[in-house]
Amino acid sequence: MAYHWRYHDGAGREIPGPQIGFAEQTAAERWFEDQWPELAEAGVEQVTLVHNGADVYGPMSLSPED
């Protein structure tokens, strides 16, 4: 699992979410573009993209106001 998403609540605490691995960053980002409304509905408020254990970017808010 080279790339994956880590999910956070509004306080920045890690919470459970889909554990899907992606070979490329673009594939991870495309998946997120399609899934973020469902993630937000499930209580995810922030995400971080991770590559081989290191943060690529994030936490990134799912709130349209941020």
Q: Is the pLDDT of residue 1 over 70?
A: no
- Span 3-50, pLDDT tens digits: 999 999 999 999 999 999 999 999 999 999 999 999 999 999 999 999
Tell me which H or E stretch contains 29. helix 25-41
Rounded CA separation 30/35 (Å): 9
State pTM to two decimals: 0.91
